[in-house]
Amino acid sequence: MEDGRKKVDGGMAKRTKKVLVTGNLGARYGSGIRKRVLWLEKTRREVYRCEKCTSTNIKRVASGIWVCMKCGNKFAGSAYVPRKV
């Protein structure tokens, strides 16, 4: 094809793999670091519950310090996850 894409058996253009949130990094930094960033982003965006009131409204204040916005419970956890991994 004129635009540089390779043709696959069915005549369709070849697509790239799904890279999810690390797509903005492109081909830089190596695959291991991109996989680690992908894991961090996925775990950071998960829904976590407060241990005291079971609300899902917790926020990270600083590295390893988390606070529940509903009851005000402040607790320590991992840097990117509110519980120990």
Kindly report, residue by residue over 7-22, the tens digit of the pLDDT. Answer: 556 666 666 567 788 8
Total domains present in the chain: 2
Residues 82 and 52 in one domain: yes
Residues 38 and 75 in one domain: no
- Predicted TM-score (pTM) of the model is 0.62
What CATH number did the domain enclosing 65 receive?
Answer: 2.20.25.30
DSSP string, 1-40: -TTSPPBPTTSPBPPPPP-GGGGGGTT-S-HHHHHHHHHH
- What residues make up the domain containing 2? 1-45
Q: Measure the CA–CA gap between 6 and 13, rounded to whole angstroms.
A: 6
> Considering Cα of 28, then 29, then 30, then 36, what sign does the dihedral take?
negative
Residues 2 and 38 in one domain: yes
Residues 40 and 18 in one domain: yes
**What tokens appear for 17 in the block?**
């793999």
**Which region among 22-26, 38-42, 59-63, 77-81 has the lowest average model confidence (pLDDT)?**
22-26
